[in-house]
Amino acid sequence: MSGRRKFGSVLVRSARDGHKYVQARYQPPVWAYSKWPDLPIHYTKNFDAEYTAMAEAWLAEQEWLIKLGSWEPPRIEKTKELSSTITFREYALDFVQNRRKPNGQRIAPTTREKYLQYLDDYLLPVLGDKPMGSIGPRDIEKWADSMRVGKAGEGASVKHKAYVLLREIFRDACERELDQDGTTLLKSNPVHIRMYKPTARFRYVDISMEELNALYHAMPQRFAVVVYLSGVMGLRPGEVYGLQRRDVRLKDDLSEGVLDIVRAAKEYSPKDPETGKRHKKVLVNETKSTGNVRHPPIPGFICKALDLHLRTFVPDNPTAFLFTGCRTDFADIQNKKECGGNRQWQNHYLRNWAANTKGKGII
């Protein structure tokens, strides 16, 4: 059977295996070729032989859309269907897992875990189950209201960070091209609210050398030299905790030295796939940017303090970290056996500190 219609056609076809099916076919409107130059001559859709009525209905729907001037290629219709089925949870998780920097490099694992934490704690509970295409400005406002900020500004910083992530997710959905025609999942970004970065709640102050010396002596011995590295040499906390023995180059007379700042430590909280709980970990990687790699000179008095620290707390290993907790130092099995338990281990360090400080001229 074959049938000709005023719009399109419905034909009975036979597959290679002899199976009969119905094929509906129509030609796109002429005006559509100026908007989508690569449109095919015909669009077809196959139906089982017993569903001829469905083929007729499909053609009638396409004819009606053309008359209304709202017809679009099927690939765009599929995109709309995708926006109404894919949830914010699915899209956001995919966005974070595949996020890249403007230079094309993947974001650091610590950044990715922080984004996932923002999703789990602040965004998914409110927006997670909603289809991307159904989320509007009111839903965004509802999310913003769910993150309350205290009178003293508590929570403002993390709210702004979650907002930036949310804005970037929807910006990606509006800009990421899904085909060669530039079709995107969303046409407009529902994140219309503006949220400004909160002002810092701390201020920089000048500190005298006498005060730094007082802090140095008041600190636990294994972390005392951090005061000088940060307060005098201006190292960031992550750069301090990323230092290894090989990064410290001191002259034999300790009159001067050079510090190689080539890596940084950063704390993050990955989720345990079995329990779902987050546990803090530290990742040591390259510095935040290549411009942060530097080799500043070490003043003489800091050389003495670093030499004392190296001889007291740091194993004789080029890759040994300068600053670790007592538990980390248990990797030195021989010393662990000699010193016994954790308390004896700490007392061992204190004795070393006292012995090495005596008569050394440390400030």
Cite the DSSP H helix spans in the chain.
Answer: 32-35, 52-68, 74-85, 88-97, 109-118, 124-127, 137-146, 156-175, 209-218, 226-231, 237-241, 300-313, 333-339, 342-357
Query: How far is the C-alpha of 174 from the C-alpha of 172, rounded, in Å?
Result: 5
Inter-residue contact 306 to 248 (CB < 8 Å): yes
Q: What is the DSSP letter of 121?
A: I
Place of tokens 């099927």: 74
| Per-residue tens of pLDDT for the chain, all 363 residues | 444 568 899 989 998 888 899 999 999 999 988 888 888 899 999 999 888 999 999 999 999 999 988 888 887 777 667 777 889 999 999 999 999 887 788 888 888 888 999 999 999 999 999 999 999 999 999 999 999 888 878 889 999 999 999 999 999 999 988 776 677 888 899 999 988 888 766 677 788 999 999 999 999 989 999 999 999 998 988 899 999 999 999 999 999 999 999 988 887 777 777 777 777 777 787 776 667 889 999 999 999 999 999 999 999 999 999 998 765 443 333 343 333 344 444 444 444 444 444 444 444
Closest to 110 (Cα-Cα) out of 321, 287, 277, 324: 287
